[in-house]
Structure 1
């Protein structure tokens, strides 16, 4: 009877502890305060900057294809991996690698510094330089190895290739199947490297104002890390000591049973 009376006394306290351990709305809901935000008109002007190790596809065309040929890298034939002595006839476009100093080696024009420039700035430079040789050249430029990595408390962590040259933090998290319930939404880390210098930046996606942040749009090779919240950390600690906890609990239950039995 004393044991039952004790359980009745502590039950309300256990219920209160459970209630306060639940996550609050402000820790989970995205875009809080978005209704009070004013429209922003500058997001469409966002352009990433080219970096060392970028792979660029640059194609120059003109009314006369023969005139444009010297300004393009030649395609090469690739062999069938299953038949090394046979050629598939498939043509593969060669790409420009931005070297560690930020240069590419361009046909006819020589070395060009492109690191730190946006796509439109590089196109403008090429238009001016190639325009000396070709009247009104058409130039297409694309980054072929744009990728971002998402780690931590997301449902599908990994490295993702991006077809376009504009990807938002929300799109990256969506590729990773969103945060788990244990992800810390108000302290997401974005690691970015520009000209060999890494920066470490924190973003709170529960506050809608993060969409005005310079880290709303991601750059190539960005790493997004979602930190686990306290519940996940505490759960991990409990999980690693489950065997010890079960042993101690069994011992305590045995002692309590013996005490109750001897006091009857």
Structure 2
């Protein structure tokens, strides 16, 4: 990675967090000095365990984890959630932090100094191809970068092409994709550096993998058997 110091500083200033998307499950907890006052805002509409899906070598492992006991809300297709007392709230084009501030401002009409805590409990990213642990991973805090996702997958294998990492994104029904070169530091300025909900990352294999995949997996066995046959025939007709 070249020019990393300069570009990393620039990216840290410019990088924007992911905006909330339809299908996001938001865990929202309202607190204040008097918790009885905010109790009506903490109604438990959908309190259940959220599965953590791991897909490794084609087999799916579902591990249920105990997520927040806070009320959870699913963002609708139109970008809204139905919140107690306040009614429909629009999350469109808002990051988790911006929506928390928006909700906090709305609540000041009813509560003195409300505190809003929001987590995305179903934020998932899928990493496939030449990585050590290909799988779909859940990111509890809803914040992840491309490097974070690759780290969860155990980094690239020795056959992975670091200059050819494909990122596919489905945002509001629109599919976009780009190829990232990890050997050049300017990839951290890409809008795909900050991972969004349900992104798919695919690490291509180098020419060695391509050549190997074209070979018959039983070629070694055939060669061994042929060698044994030749040896036996040589002994018989000696």
Distance in 1 (alpha carbons) for counterparts of 2:46 and 2:194: 35
Structure 1 regions of 5+ residues with no counterpart? 1-30, 79-90, 258-264
Structure 1 residue aligned with 2:36, among 66, 74, 77?
66
Contact 1:192 1:199 in 2 (8 A): yes
Q: Are residues 74 and 245 of structure 1, via their aligned partners in 2, closer, same or farther at CA, if it must alter by over 3 Å?
A: closer
What TM-score comes out, normalization by structure 1 length?
A: 0.70
Structure number with greater Rg is 1
Higher fraction of strand: 2
Q: How many residues align?
A: 209
C-alpha displacement of 1:164: 2.6
Report what 1:101 is aligned to. Answer: 78
Distance in 2 (alpha carbons) for counterparts of 1:229 and 1:43: 31
Distance in 1 (alpha carbons) for counterparts of 2:207 and 2:103: 52
Report what 2:55 is aligned to. Answer: none
Q: What's the Cα RMSD here? A: 2.8
What are the within-5 Å matches in structure 2 for residues 201-212 of structure 1?
A: 201-212=178-189
Matched, 1:194 2:163: no
Q: Are residues 193 and 75 of structure 1, via their aligned partners in 2, closer, same or farther at CA, if it must alter by over 3 Å?
A: closer
Structure 2 regions of 5+ residues with no counterpart? 49-67
The C-alpha deviation readout for 1:10-30, integer Å capped at 9, x for no partner, is xxxxxxxxxxxxxxxxxxxxx
Report what 2:58 is aligned to. Answer: none
C-alpha displacement of 1:245: 7.6
Distance in 2 (alpha carbons) for counterparts of 1:131 and 1:67: 12
What TM-score comes out, normalization by structure 2 length?
A: 0.77
Matched, 1:145 2:147: no
Distance in 2 (alpha carbons) for counterparts of 1:228 and 1:206: 15
Higher fraction of helix: 1
The C-alpha deviation readout for 1:136-163, integer Å capped at 9, x for no partner, is 2111111111121110111110011113
Distance in 1 (alpha carbons) for counterparts of 2:84 and 2:99: 15
